[in-house]
Amino acid sequence: MILVTGGCGFIGSAFVLRWLAQSQEPLLNLDLLTYAGHPGNLAAVQGDARYHFCRGDIGDAALVAKLLAEHKPRAIVNFAAESHVDRSIADPLAFARTNVMGTLGLLQEALAYWRALDAGAAAAFRFVHVSTDEVFGSLAPDAAAFSETHPYQPNSPYSASKAASDHFVRAWHHTYGFPALITNCSNNYGPRQFPEKLIPLMVHNALRGLPLPVYGDGQQVRDWLFVDDHCSALEAVLERGRVGETYNIGGRSERTNLQVVHTICSVLDELRPQAHGAPHAQLVKHVTDRPGHDRRYAIDDRKIEAELHWRPAVAFEQGIRATIEWYLANADWVESVTSGSYRQWVERQYKGLAKAA
């Protein structure tokens, strides 16, 4: 059995679904079910005898110890995190509690569990910590992409909290010999992503004829990674990665935010045109930029390709169409997550933002 934390979230649920579709090995999902953790993401496996769920906090030491003792996982894959930059700016302490103290608590219990294993089980055990390229800071337009040795320079409360968690994982390996690995991925997209992030927010608003808020000039560059590609990379790291190493995972699809939004508009013009025939791009509205907004992220993923023979399989144009088609076909899911609290958040976040110069 493996233990997955945060398995009801966007990336975690994609991993759980992929795992159970390909493996007979049971999986235990520990998730606190905060606003971004949606049980409906895993409705397809609710009756699967291989799937086990526990609602709880990774920082709850007694609960984590109990689960480890009862289920005896051979590996832990840690997705549990607060991950939205805008929310981290509004409430940084929540990000410190989950991403730093929660990870630290999980590490503490995992270390005690690992130390108590017999020699064979201890040698086979792995702890995979899922992190982000945002810990590396911002790149100039012509700078080389982030490698695994790029210095950490986090610029938001979110990326600072993830950087801290990475440092603790690294320290657990170097201090205690704990068999941990770290992955740093680029921007994920795909089905079931909570519509506070760029792509699902744009799809959600466009389908309702609402403004498409683009921060600043929209020229911020991100590397876009289809979520299933990310999950296949994590499987490779879990099974073949070298203990103590970090692996960058990228989609090899750098795009500006504005390019992404216009691509979404073009696909929607084809698949779900507006009743009055106007292009969706007319809904784009430039708003005041996010404080401290990083200009560019880019991933150098040559290490994971060379060592683990992994590379992304889904091109951005293919992945974005599949993503939009999923949202169009799953209106009930969208309605279930865009509740009153979601609408209140979006209103608070974007209402009153002046049009960018």
Shortest CA distance to 159 belongs to which of 102, 255, 81?
A: 81
* Residues whose CB is less than 8 angstroms from the CB of residue 179 and which lie 6 or more positions away in sequence, other chains included: 114, 122, 125, 126, 127, 173, 243, 244
Residue entry with tokens 């190493």: 245
Q: Are strands 27-31 and 51-55 parallel, antiparallel or unpaired?
A: parallel
DSSP sequence for 146-197: BPTTSPP---SHHHHHHHHHHHHHHHHHHHH---EEEEEE-EEE-TT--TTS
- Of the candidates 57, 113, 148, 158, the residue annotated as catalytic is 158
- Of the candidates 109, 133, 228, 254, the residue annotated as catalytic is 133
How far apart are alpha carbons 251 and 222 in whole angstroms? 10
Q: Residue 118 catalytic?
A: no
DSSP element (H, E) containing 130: strand 126-132
Q: Residue 158 catalytic?
A: yes
How far apart are alpha carbons 76 and 47 in whole angstroms? 22
How far apart are alpha carbons 141 and 158 in whole angstroms? 23
Q: Residue 134 catalytic?
A: yes
DSSP element (H, E) containing 344: helix 340-350
328 phi/psi in degrees, rounded to 5 = -65, -35
Is 232 in contact with 188 (CB distance < 8 Å)?
no
- Of the candidates 134, 148, 229, 294, the residue annotated as catalytic is 134
Q: Residues of 30-47 as b/e, b for ≥16 C-beta within 10 angstroms?
A: bbbeeebbbeebbeebee
Residues annotated as catalytic are 133-134, 158
